[in-house]
Amino acid sequence: MKNFLRILKISIYITLAITLLNIVFFTEGPITWMVVLEYLGLSFMFSFGLTLVNTYYYDGISIRYDWETQPKARLWAGALGSIVITMLVFGLLRIFMVVVLYDHSWDYFLANESASPYIIAIIITVLISLFLHAFHFYKALQEKKVKEQKIIAGTASAKFDALKNQLDPHFLFNSLNVLTSLIEEDPDQAQKFTTSLSKVYRYVLEQKNKDLVSVDEELQFAKTYVKLLKMRFEDSINLDIPEQSTDPEAKIVPLSLQLLLENAVKHNIVTSSKPLRIKVYEEDGMLVVSNNLQEKQVVRKSSGVGLQNIQQRYGLLTDRNVEISKSQSEFKMKLPMLTKQITTMEAQKTYINDKRYEKAKEHVEQLKGFYGNLLAYCIVIPCLAILNYNTTSFPWIIFPTLGWGFGVTVHGMEVFGYNPLWGKRWEERKLRKFMDDDTF
């Protein structure tokens, strides 16, 4: 229905334009109401028929050939096909007009038919086809850009999931290494370690599908994880960690503290004579993890998951950077503490601002179109009135004035949201009413 109304609207505009051209340039003799009505009827027949078949042909060819994957085939099939179908329909309409409406014979039609009407139809079709193809090609190009952005977003999401999934085997692998060492050194502790490990690993699985977890959860998990380490290293590890965060809403990426603790143990000497001291505290909206630096002389090859994993996951979630500093005696890493509420509010604010900008931009374009239409009306109609006054006594200026004026009025009511039957912004009020109705 919407497509049909669009075809009807275009046909009316073309009908008025063709009728005006016929009256001004091709009419000989007096202009009567019957002449005007005849022009209107014939012009509408041709404009509606040609617009109808070309519109549905265009929609059909768009299904067969896609602008994104087959732009050349779409262009040539659309352009050449439009010309061919226009000529066929135009010829049939000419036959209907001469043979049926004017009651002439088929021989009369063939004897008096000339090429000029077909040439004019081809020129008009080519111009309109070029405009439509340029418009839809630009639209397809914009849609392609949107798809590319969606693909980029989807790739980032997939990358983030992949980074999270790295943690499971990584954590288990390193924990099993610790368990292997304990089995050799202290079988009883190895048994306790296995029991505690199952509890810790349950937390790992629970956080698998989360982008962020609260700092308090990570702090409690860090304490549990250090208990596992103490089963092996006993008093060789000292952890200074707060009971809870100063901001209950603060969040960090899951298992980031565990990775930093693991990294500290992996790269530093941990003995009773050289204990590893790890301190966790907050500073300027960052969760700081520091440890005294006593690097091992020989360190097994890193898997590349630890620090890089944390940096990449933060990079996909926020613009705030993970800060790493290293001195001769200390290694320090700062994790941005994010607030889900603030992040959500900022995302909603950005989304609302984008929507408002799009709506404002669309309304400005509508205003520009209306004012352009109104300006053209105010310039062209007086010119036609002068032409009417100087060429004939028949007031044909009434028809374009009323027809175009009606179109400008409808255009203005559409732009400014006024409906003569239901009042201003009726559609918007109804939409808001249904949106607020919980039973709808």
Cα–Cα distance measured from residue 211 to residue 30, given in angstroms and rounded to the nearest whole number? 80
List of residues 6+ apart from 93 with CB closer than 8 A: 45, 46, 49, 50
Residues 206 and 174 sit within 8 Å (Cβ to Cβ): no
CA 94/CA 50 separation, integer angstroms: 12
pLDDT at 160: 47
Residues 375/416, Cβ–Cβ less than 8 Å = no
Spatial CA neighbour of 257 closest among 246, 241, 275, 238 = 241
Helix (H, G, I), strand (E, B) or coil at 228: helix
Distance CA 70, CA 74 (A): 6
Measured in whole angstroms, the distance separating CA 228 from the mean position of its chain's CA atoms is 47
How much is the pLDDT for 344? 46
- To the question of pTM greater than 0.85 for the whole model, the response is no
Amino acid 132: pLDDT: 66
Give the pLDDT of residue 56. Answer: 83
User: Residue-wise pLDDT tens for the chain (440 aa)?
Assistant: 556 677 777 778 888 887 887 777 767 777 777 777 878 888 888 888 888 888 888 778 878 877 667 777 877 887 788 888 888 988 998 898 888 888 888 888 888 888 888 887 778 777 776 676 666 666 666 666 666 565 455 545 545 454 455 445 655 676 777 777 777 777 777 787 787 777 777 777 776 667 788 899 889 888 888 877 777 677 888 888 898 888 888 888 887 887 888 888 888 888 888 899 999 999 988 999 999 988 887 655 555 556 777 787 787 777 788 898 988 889 999 999 987 544 444 554 555 566 677 777 887 887 887 888 788 888 878 877 776 677 667 777 787 788 778 878 877 877 776 665 555 555 566 656 655 555 54
In whole angstroms, what is the distance from residue 432 CA to residue 413 CA? 20
Helix, strand, coil shares of the chain, percent, nearest 5, are 70, 10, 20
Exposed, middle or buried: residue 129 (CB in 10 Å: 0-12, 13-18, 19+)? buried
End-to-end CA distance of the chain: 25
Determine the 3-state secondary structure of 113 from DSSP: coil
What is the spatial distance between Cα 246 and Cα 256, in angstroms, rounded to a whole number?
A: 18
Non-local CB neighbours of 119 within 8 Å, separated by 6+ positions: none
pLDDT for the residue numbered 167: 47
pLDDT at 433: 64
Q: Is 433 left (phi over 0), alpha (psi -120 to 50) or beta?
A: alpha
